[in-house]
Each structure stands twice: as structure tokens, then as C-alpha cells.
């Protein structure tokens, strides 16, 4: 029976599904048939694979070839099934032993000359292979460093179809060319560095002079994973502050680094020189970005958007009122759930999206400072209409709201001795996060900003009587029920930064003021 089986992975979002590739060679009209919901790129694999096999010095079977991709109900997209199909054809033809393919997961796109080209999303695919019990993966040499991040998997790096076939026959390097390399996963390859290893100039929070309240708000948001809104005229320091928040965030731990790297791998933004992202990402999309660019989507292959690429980092929306209303409102769901769900016909993709949102806005369309004769002349109605582009439900999900005032020469000079560097602030942020992690051990949450409201009320309530002012604001309609939860979360972060075991009255009052909005 001329039947062979190989295995690959189909990605839906950042979730991998093992796909069994069955190749049957039988008498009939010469040609290749692909079944199992392949897309256009995968249908074109027939011509690529035939040319690659012939140009690699192998014999193309002059018979009817049927390739089945199972499960047949799962849509298959992309070109990285090429290697699995090509080796399946050779195994079904009897030119390579079928037993050599047992337990080997295959990823790679083939060139017409037989070269093995890199593909996107190798890291989540290798993770799916390891979870399915596969102990070996064969990838293109350019994807080897990324595949090596997954422990417990033997990585085989091949440069061509001929090299892969010779390795499976037990005669590696028989026909020359670059050698097939083997190494264990969970290690960093020589010559590759993790992000942040190189000595580069980075922004520093100490450069943010004259805005002490804004610096304090940034520290709170970094420590608790809270969202921040900055309102102020041009030059007040909104963008400057947002760009310095990543400098006070802790480095990503192992699990978070793999999660973030997987998203960037699927998006195709992962640098070959930096296979593992260990620094929190910072995304600042332009205000003309579409909804699909922000939250993810696409008509063909579903790609992650800026919200997912900023996972475990910062998503900065400068000139927030200039963004489309539907684009901003599309962020409401990931702000609550911590993930983006993109539904398409026959498939639903989920992307992690637990980020710190920073909104920056001018107080009016002209963006001039009010006061002088040649200053702002916008009417109150114009101001309300401009800021009303940011919907109330979205602002209700923002924990800290700061209004920045223009900074004068006196403030700049006086604040030099009080502005702390990012290194000092980052140490306090790390200590506060460690206190929160110790308190939340045994739960699925890591930061105060992630704790659901019912758990806060039941397990971690503030000190008795400390929410009196918050309750009065709730009765007067100044704050919503969701806002009360936000206030308690921020109060816990204030207590963690101060080293207190529990937030008190002053902490809750300060958190309420930050939710309602304070001037810097």
C-alpha cells in the first residue's frame, strides 16, 4: 500500500492544532489532489512541491497522488505544510523510510529549487507539538532559534529538502550542502541574543520634569497593571511619559516571554536576531489605524492587532479623539476580558491582549493653551464634542485620569532634585508586584488590575469604613459600580507600593481622586 503519514500544525490565532498529512499514491490520472479545506496558498503547494522534489534530485511519482489534511473540518492556511507534504510524497513512493517520520513534526515552505524557507508562527506551533507528545520537530534553519525556545523538544534544522531527506535516510550530508543541525530545545543558540542584552540608550523617567503627579500615576499603573488617561496641551509631556512607562516595567518572566514571543511570531514581527522577547512591548499605532489593525482580523489568515502585540506591555493611543469611534470602542472587550476574540466563518481565533492602555488627548481641537489673547478660542460645546469622541464606557474602564498643565521654567528647575530615575522607580514597581503576586498565589491572576470585582469584595476587601467616600460618590452618581472596582484595585496598588498589608481610608480616597481625575 503506497500510503504515508506525516504531521504538521495548523494555527488558529496563537493556538496550534495538530494536522495529520496523509499521502496516497495509486494508479490513475497523473496529478496531485489536495483535500481537507486548503486555502489558495496551500492549493498552490502542488506546483511548488513538484518542482522542489525534482530539483532536489528526487523522483516524482508519475501516478495519481491524493493528499488529505486531517481533521478535514479545520481550515488550513499558509505555505508551511510544504515540507510535510513533500516528505509524505517521498515516503509514500518508498524513497525514504516511513518509520523515520514517526514522532517528527514538520514545518517549512519550499522554494522551487528545494530550499527550505522560514515561516511565521513556529514558536506556538512547536508548543502545540510538544503538548501533543511529539519529541522532534524539523524546521528551516532560520526558524531554529525560535523553535529552540521550547524545552523538551529535539530541534532538527534543515536548509533544503535534499538535506531533510538525507537525514531521514540516515545519510546526513550525503549530497553536500549545509549540514542538518540537531539540538535540544530550551536553550539559546550561539550568536543569538535575547531582547535587552545589547547596551542601548533608553528613555529615563527622570527626564520627565515638572510633572510629579504624572510620574506617580505612571508608577501606579506599572505596578498594578492599571489603565491611564492623560489630558493636556501639546508639550505638557503626555507622549514623553507614555514612552517611559516600559522602562519601569519588570522584565517578562519565562511564561510571559514565550506568550509574547508567540504573538509576535504569528504576526511576523519577530526579528531573527532576537528570538525571545524579554522586554515588555510598547505599541503606538497611528490614529488612522483601522479596527482590524488595532484588535486583529483579516479576510484570509487572521493576524493579531496592536492590542495583542502589546500583550504584557503598553498600548499607547496618542491623540485618542482622532481615532475612529468604532476603533476605540472595540477595545472595551479586551480591556475587560484580557483577550481579543475574532470570529470568522468556520473559525474563531483568540489572541491574548492583557496590556496597559495609555490614552493621550488634547483638551480641544486647536490644542492651544487657554489664557493669552492668541490662545484657545474653542467654545465649551466644541471642547465637549471633541473629548466626547472618547466614549463614556471606554473612560469608565480607565483606572487613573490625569490632567497635565503646562510646565514653566520654575517647575523645571525645582523638580530636578526630586525626579527619580527609571531604575529606582522600577525597583519599587517590582517590589509592589511581588507583594501582589504573593497575595494572589494560587489564583489565575498576577496583578491587582486583573482581579475580578467579586473576588475583591469577597477575599480582599479594604479596611472597614475606608470606602465611605466611594459609597457616597456612588450614591451621587459620580462613579459607576465598575468604577468602584477600579478604585479598590488602585487602592490595593497604592498599599502595595507603600508596603501596607491592606488599603486604608487614605488609600481609597487617593484612588477615588485618581479615578475621577486630578491635575498634575
Provide the greatest CA pair distance for the chain. 90
In 3D, which of 131, 115, 45 has the Cα closest to residue 80?
45
**Phi-psi region at 128: left, alpha or beta (left = phi > 0; alpha = psi -120 to 50):** alpha
Half-sphere exposure of 110 (CA within 13 A, CB side): 30
pLDDT of 372 > 70? The answer is no
Q: With bands split at pLDDT 50, 70 and 90, how would you rate the model's confidence at 295?
A: very high
HEC assignment per residue over 382-443: HHHHHHCCCCHHHHCCCCEEEECCCCCHHHHHHHHHCCCCHHHHHHHHHHHHHHHHHHCCCC
28-32, 243-247, 348-352, 377-381: lowest mean pLDDT where? 377-381
Which range has the worst mean pLDDT, 198-212, 257-271, 387-401? 198-212
**Cell numbers placing 322:** 482622532
SS3 (DSSP) at 7: strand
Average pLDDT over residues 192-197: 56
Cell (9 digits) for 277: 522577547
**Alpha-carbon distance 335 to 174, whole Å?**
55
Task: Give dist(CA 11, CA 269) in Å, integer.
Answer: 16
Question: 64-81 pLDDT, tens per residue?
Answer: 999 999 999 888 888 889
- Rounded to whole angstroms, the Cα distance separating 378 from 383 reads 7
Q: What is the pLDDT of residue 344?
A: 81
Q: How far apart are CA 319 and CA 361, in angstroms?
A: 5
The C-alpha atoms of residue 128 and residue 135 are separated, in whole angstroms, by 11
Q: What are phi and psi of 487, to 5 degrees?
A: -65, -45
In the predicted structure, residue 339 carries a pLDDT above the cut 90: yes
- Give the Å distances, CA to CA, from 15 to 125, 302, 366, 478: 8, 12, 46, 42
Q: 463 near 503, Cβ under 8 Å?
A: yes
All cell numbers assigned to 179: 549540514
Tell me, what's the pLDDT at 187?
Answer: 64
> What angle (nearest 5°) sits at the alpha carbon of residue 338, between those of residues 334 and 343?
55
Helix or strand or coil: residue 244? helix
Domains and CATH numbers, the chain: 3-184 (3.30.230.10), 227-398 (3.40.50.300)
Q: Does the pLDDT of residue 371 top 70, yes or no?
A: no
3 contacts 22 by C-beta, under 8 angstroms? yes
Q: What is the mean pLDDT of residues 9-31?
A: 93
In the block, cell 482581579 appears at: 451
- The pLDDT, as a whole number, for residue 278 is 93
Do residues 283 and 310 make contact, with C-beta atoms less than 8 angstroms apart? yes
Predicted confidence (pLDDT) per residue in 216-274, tens digit: 999 999 999 999 999 998 888 999 999 999 999 999 999 999 999 999 999 999 887 78
Amino acid at each position: 500500500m503506497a500510503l504515508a503519514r506525516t504531521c504538521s500544525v495548523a494555527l488558529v490565532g496563537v493556538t496550534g492544532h495538530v494536522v495529520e498529512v496523509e499521502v496516497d499514491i495509486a494508479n490513475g490520472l497523473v496529478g496531485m489532489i489536495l483535500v481537507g479545506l486548503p486555502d489558495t496558498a496551500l492549493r498552490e503547494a502542488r506546483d511548488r512541491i513538484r518542482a522542489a522534489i525534482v530539483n532536489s534530485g528526487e523522483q516524482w511519482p508519475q501516478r495519481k497522488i491524493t493528499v488529505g489534511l486531517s481533521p478535514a473540518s479545520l481550515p488550513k492556511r499558509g505555505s508551511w505544510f510544504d515540507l510535510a507534504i513533500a516528505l509524505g510524497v517521498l515516503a509514500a513512493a518508498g524513497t525514504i523510510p516511513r518509520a523515520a517520520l514517526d514522532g517528527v513534526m514538520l514545518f517549512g515552505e519550499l522554494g522551487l529549487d528545494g530550499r527550505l524557507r522560514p515561516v511565521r508562527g513556529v514558536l506556538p506551533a512547536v508548543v502545540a507539538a510538544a503538548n501533543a507528545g511529539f519529541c522532534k520537530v524539523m524546521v528551516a534553519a532560520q526558524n531554529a532559534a525560535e523553535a529552540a525556545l521550547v524545552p523538551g523538544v529535539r530541534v532538527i534544522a534543515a536548509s533544503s529538502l535534499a538535506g531533510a531527506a538525507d537525514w531521514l535516510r540516515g545519510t546526513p550530508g550525503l549530497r553536500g550542502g549545509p549540514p542538518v543541525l540537531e539540538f535540544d530545545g530550551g536553550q539559546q543558540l550561539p550568536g543569538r541574543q535575547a531582547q535587552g542584552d545589547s547596551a542601548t540608550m533608553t528613555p529615563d523617567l527622570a527626564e520627565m520634569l515638572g510633572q510629579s503627579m504624572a510620574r506617580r500615576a505612571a508608577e501606579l499603573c506599572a505596578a498594578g497593571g492599571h489603565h491611564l488617561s492623560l489630558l493636556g496641551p501639546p508639550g505638557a509631556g503626555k507622549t514623553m511619559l507614555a514612552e517611559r512607562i516600559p522602562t519601569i516595567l519588570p522584565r517578562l518572566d519565562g511564561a510571559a516571554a514565550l506568550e509574547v514571543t508567540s504573538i509576535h511570531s504569528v504576526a511576523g514581527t519577530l526579528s531573527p536576531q532576537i528570538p525571545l522577547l524579554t522586554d515588555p512591548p510598547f505599541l503606538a499605532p497611528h490614529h488612522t489605524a483601522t479596527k482590524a489593525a488595532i484588535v486583529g482580523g483579516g479576510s484570509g489568515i487572521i493576524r493579531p492587532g496592536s492590542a495583542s502585540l502589546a500583550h504584557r506591555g503598553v498600548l499607547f493611543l496618542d491623540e485618542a479623539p482622532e481615532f475612529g469611534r468604532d476603533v476605540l470602542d472595540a477595545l472595551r472587550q479586551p480591556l475587560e476580558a484580557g483577550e481579543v476574540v475574532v470570529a470568522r466563518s468556520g473559525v474563531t481565533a483568540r489572541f491574548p491582549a492583557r496590556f496597559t492602555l495609555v490614552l493621550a488627548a488634547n483638551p480641544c481641537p486647536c490644542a492651544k493653551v487657554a489664557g493669552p489673547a492668541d490662545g484657545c478660542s474653542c467654545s465649551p460645546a466644541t471642547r465637549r464634542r471633541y473629548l466626547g469622541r472618547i466614549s463614556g464606557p471606554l473612560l469608565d474602564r480607565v483606572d487613573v485620569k490625569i490632567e497635565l498643565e503646562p510646565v514653566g521654567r520654575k517647575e523645571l528647575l525645582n523638580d530636578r532634585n526630586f525626579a527619580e530615575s527609571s531604575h529606582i522607580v522600577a525597583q519599587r514597581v517590582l517590589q509592589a508586584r511581588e507583594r501582589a503576586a504573593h497575595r494572589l498565589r494560587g489564583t489565575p491572576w498576577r496583578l491587582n488590575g486583573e482581579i475580578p470585582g467579586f473576588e475583591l469584595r469577597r477575599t480582599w476587601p479594604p479596611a472597614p469604613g475606608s470606602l465611605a467616600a466611594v459609597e457616597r460618590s456612588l450614591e451621587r452618581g459620580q462613579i459607576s459600580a465598575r468604577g468602584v472596582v477600579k478604585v479598590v484595585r488602585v487602592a490595593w496598588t497604592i498599599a502595595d507600593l507603600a508596603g501596607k498589608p491592606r488599603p486604608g481610608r487614605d488609600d481609597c480616597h487617593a484612588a477615588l481622586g485618581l479615578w475621577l481625575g486630578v491635575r498634575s
